Amino acid sequence: MDGILPFLKPPGITSHDAVAICRRILKEKRIGHSGTLDPMAYGVLPVFLGKATRLIEYTDEFDKTYVAECKLGTFTDTEDSSGQPVLPDNESLFCL
């Protein structure tokens, strides 16, 4: 099978995990991805199959675009959305 598969990567898995899922389901040996999405990111990961893997080197010049949804004023123990909410020492503290 040759082509480019737009894989909708959910948060919580790496780009490598996404390729492994495609490899297992499609039973494809020649497979790779263009760029890397952060493990917590949700988005489209281009997965290249078969002869299309030769095109990966030409995609390096393309920029990734992130769209973020933020909730201001929440502090977590990991300083990201994967952590548990904690109360700041000063509840009026606000940083951007």
Three-state secondary structure call for residue 96: coil
- The answer to whether 50 touches 22, Cβ cutoff 8 Å, is no
Q: Active-site positions?
A: 38
- The answer to whether 21 touches 48, Cβ cutoff 8 Å, is no
**Whole-angstrom Cα distance, residue 81 to residue 69?**
11
- How many CB atoms neighbour CB 33 within 10 A? 21
